[in-house]
Amino acid sequence: MAFEVKEFLKSPSFEAIDSLKKSELKLLSEHFGIPVKGSMLKLQIRDLILEHMVDEEMLEESCLQQTKKDDDETISHQNEYLIKKLELEHREKEREWEFKFRELELQKEISLKQLEASTSNQQSHGLRNNSEFDVTKYLRLVPSFQEQEVEAFFNHFEKLANQMNWPSDKWTLLIQTSFTGKAQQIYSSLSLDECADYEHVKKCILNGYELVPEAYRQKFRSLRKLDSQSHIEFARCKSTLFERWCSSLNVTSIDQLQQLILLEEFKRCIPPEIKIFLDEHKVSKLDDAAAKADEFALTHKHKFTQNKPRQFKNDIKGAKVTQHYIPNSSESSSSDSTRFKIKSESLGSHSDPNSPTCAYCRKKGHLLGDCLKLARKKQLEQSSNALAVRQRHTASANAENISNIVPNRKSNGYHHTSTGPISEEYKPFVSDGLISISDGSTKSTVKIKMLRDTGANLTLILSGMLPLSQETYTGQDELIKGVPGGQGEYISVPLHEIYLQSNLVTGRVTVGVLPTLPADGISCLLGNDLAGNKVTANPIVVENPTTSNSTKDLEQQFPDVFEACAVTRSMSKQAGNLTKPPQKEV
């Protein structure tokens, strides 16, 4: 039956309102014009309607008190309900966690049982040879395979297998997991029966990597020590290659080794045609090789000239011609490193008539651009721009350039002074200095004029400026070029140790001593060996700078020097007043 508001309002009561549904309460609130939200609870809507009816005196105020009591009871019931609900949820979660934990334990027990069952199954079945050997357990112990050290791999594996007592019929299963490259291809090409035989697998792989004896010999001869290798490692590699070379030729005795070394040396000294003939016939003894070589030479009627040069090439350009012997390709790299240095002048009649001829010296074997005589002449004609050029004693210095050394030992024989005026071009680079034998001797201090020469690599002073002796002499000489007296050649200059005090260098220094210097009025050439990159002295900062201003006097004395940058109107007026003649009074 539909709810009628008018029929309900004829006899309203608290019990009747409390028994209404939420939808009926909404209709009643609309009738009274009470705003109600959709999210409000039934009790809230009921309370609003009761308050409105009490205000309209449709119900008594006791209904509101009863409503509060009911609300308190309802809230307490709701709280109890929520607490019980939370407790139930907590219990359910605990049960879920217990169930999951129990499930994990059961899974763990099941996996352990399965593992035990599989292990017992393997043990019950056993291996084919009725042993308990498990290949998978020992795979990590198998050494790594390297294609450069195949024999070392098999030796290492066999020693390990014997120590671990591995069954020999399982060795191929262990080593096949380490094969790479060519070894893997060889193993894959074998049949099942051949793969089960370790010795057969080993033989096939070694044959696949085996080289001819000549290859082992060339590797042994060409092996050189690397910077990253120690001498022990290099010696081990050298001995390994030597053993491979000997084993490839089945050398097992001292006599066979002797024949091997003699035969190699014999082949190195004969023409390449005969060597190829002996290699093709695989001669293993020196006597047989000599007999076959004579037979080959007589049969082919070759005329072998003693010490006949074969192939030569110029190894250095622009330097002294040194020609190196190039052995044939069949010889070892060790013999490649053996070079017979022969001067080009000693070739004589053995030189090739078709070789080029120099247009300058008219000698064969080189062209004009490689002529040493012409290069030496050009070098002697060149002159240095510096006043003194220092030549270091190095192994790369050409002996021809310093062959004619002018001796200079007159460092204390007579007194030299710096005479003549100093050139105007040198004055900006001239400074005063003091020199003495020792830093503490003030009596023997000599005042000198020093010229800073940025093109000089050695500092020079005039002889006779100080009483130099064997005590100051360092026992060393330097070769310099470019100073007077040398005439374009190197001269020997003695080195003395003195004390120098100047604005650029102060302290004990080593200088060269010469009787004359190329600049008048100069007693010392200060070179780069002492001054470095300094040309002039650094400015000095003082605490009390000069405050006097004397520019006005200088402007009056030198008006052409101190000119004004701009002429203003006031300055022009002043100038006009100065030049304007005075007017006479009337």
* DSSP letter (8 states) at residue 400: T
Give the burial string for 298-331 (b: 16+ CB within 10 Å, else e): eeeeeeeeeeeeeebeeeeeeeebebebebeeeb
Q: 365: closest CA among 350, 378, 375?
A: 350
- Strand (E) or helix (H) holding 452: strand 446-452
- The per-residue pLDDT for 574 is 65
- The per-residue pLDDT for 521 is 87
Q: 20: closest CA among 40, 47, 38, 39?
A: 47
Task: Give me the amino acid identity at 272.
Answer: P
Burial class (CB in 10 A: 0-12, 13-18, 19+), 263: buried
| Number of continuous H segments (helices) and E segments (strands) in the chain | 20, 11
Task: Give me the amino acid identity at 418.
Answer: S
Q: CA-CA distances (angstroms) from residue 433 to 117, 411, 446, 520?
A: 103, 20, 8, 16
* DSSP letter (8 states) at residue 147: T
* Phi, psi (degrees; rounded to nearest 5) at 507: 140, -175
- The per-residue pLDDT for 496 is 93
β-pairing, 342-343 with 322-325? antiparallel
- C-alpha–C-alpha distance, residues 130 and 123, integer Å: 10
Helix, strand or coil, per DSSP, at residue 526? strand
Q: 414: closest CA among 358, 353, 468?
A: 468
Residues 326/312, Cβ–Cβ less than 8 Å: yes
Tokens of 291: 């007999």
Q: CA-CA distances (angstroms) from residue 303 to 280, 298, 306, 327, 517?
A: 22, 9, 9, 20, 67
* Phi, psi (degrees; rounded to nearest 5) at 162: -70, -35
- The per-residue pLDDT for 513 is 92
513 strand-pairing partners: 461
- pLDDT tens-digit series, residues 125-158: 544 444 567 777 888 888 888 887 787 888 888 8
480 strand-pairing partners: 390, 491
- The per-residue pLDDT for 486 is 53
- C-alpha–C-alpha distance, residues 467 and 140, integer Å: 84
Ranges assigned E (strand) in 64-127: none
- C-alpha–C-alpha distance, residues 435 and 500, integer Å: 5
Domain range annotation of the chain: 5-59, 138-211, 222-300, 424-531
Q: 173: closest CA among 125, 136, 122?
A: 136
Q: Which residue has the tokens 């001498």?
A: 231
Helix, strand or coil, per DSSP, at residue 15? helix
Considering the entire predicted model, what is its pTM? 0.30
- C-alpha–C-alpha distance, residues 213 and 220, integer Å: 11
Q: 204: closest CA among 249, 150, 158, 245?
A: 150
Question: What sign results for the dihedral spanned by CA atoms 325, 331, 332, 333?
Answer: positive
Helical axes 198-209 vs 150-164, angle rounded to 10° = 160
- The per-residue pLDDT for 317 is 39
Helix, strand or coil, per DSSP, at residue 471? coil
- C-alpha–C-alpha distance, residues 272 and 346, integer Å: 24
- The per-residue pLDDT for 180 is 85
Helix, strand or coil, per DSSP, at residue 287? helix
* Residues of the chain with confidence (pLDDT) below 50: 126-130, 302, 305-351, 383-407, 409-416, 584-586
- C-alpha–C-alpha distance, residues 45 and 530, integer Å: 108
- The per-residue pLDDT for 566 is 56
Q: CA-CA distances (angstroms) from residue 155 to 129, 143, 161, 313?
A: 25, 10, 10, 46
- C-alpha–C-alpha distance, residues 570 and 293, integer Å: 116
Residues 197/172, Cβ–Cβ less than 8 Å: yes
**Secondary-structure breakdown of the chain: helix, strand, coil percentages, each rounded to the nearest 5:** 45, 10, 40
Residues 524/460, Cβ–Cβ less than 8 Å: yes
Q: CA-CA distances (angstroms) from residue 420 to 452, 520, 522?
A: 18, 5, 9
- C-alpha–C-alpha distance, residues 182 and 180, integer Å: 6
Burial class (CB in 10 A: 0-12, 13-18, 19+), 226: exposed
- Give me the DSSP letters along 312-352: EEE--SSS--EEEE---TTS-HHHHH----EEGGG-GGGS-
Cβ-based neighbour number of residue 332 at 10 Å: 19
- The per-residue pLDDT for 406 is 46
- C-alpha–C-alpha distance, residues 362 and 318, integer Å: 17
- The per-residue pLDDT for 338 is 39
Q: Which residue has the tokens 């696949």?
A: 208
Q: What is the CATH number of domain 424-531?
A: 2.40.70.10
- C-alpha–C-alpha distance, residues 485 and 294, integer Å: 67
* Strand order through the sheet with 312-314: 312-314, 322-325, 342-343
